[in-house]
Amino acid sequence: MVAAALVLLAGCGGEESPGSGSAAAPSTAPGVGEVTTAPDGVQEITLQTQDDYVFLPDSFTVDPGTVRLTVVNVAEEMTHNLEFDDGEGPEPIDAGISLLAPGEQKTIEFTVTVPGDHPFTCTFHTQLGQVGTMTVRGR
């Protein structure tokens, strides 16, 4: 009898409602992923990171020239960064964002001249697949 009562009690505890599971999911910031040309002629692109291991988008295409790249980290917990992979692309890109805390955004500017795929990564999460590709168009 006592054992049966314990089982019943234990069975009662597990039905806790998870609560409001559909509360405002972080939406994509405006303009993310769109390559535009600023008034000063520089190409601009904004990427987003969040509490996962994905660049949004993870690929984009620019023309040869100067690129102003902004990364917005809308994560609540995860810190990311963005570095171009030395030696893997057709030309070195020294610019990078070494640390992007939750809620932060940073902008870098650099010039590309060689068409082809310029891979980049979040060095904290490379193993988890947080990589991307910037393609520079041929002319």
Chain positions contacting Cu ion, by CB under 5 A: 80, 122, 124-125, 130
Closer residue to Cu ion, CB minimum distance, 43 or 121? 121
Smallest gap, in angstroms, from Cβ of residue 56 to Cu ion?
12
Pure H helices in the chain:
2-12
Smallest distance from Cu ion to CB 53, Å: 6
Nearest distance from residue 47's CB to Cu ion, in Å? Answer: 12
Tell me which DSSP letter residue 113 carries: -
User: Hey, CA dihedral for 30, 115, 98, 57, is it positive or negative?
Assistant: positive
The first and second tokens of residue 22, run together, are 């559909």
> Cβ closer to Cu ion: 110 or 124?
124
**Which is closer to Cu ion, CB of 58 or CB of 63?**
58
Nearer to Cu ion, 88 or 91 (CB): 88
Q: What's the token pair of residue 109? A: 């500017």
Q: In whole angstroms, how close is the CB of 100 to Cu ion at the nearest point? A: 8
22 to each of 25, 26, 81, 85, how far by Cα in Å? 7, 11, 28, 38
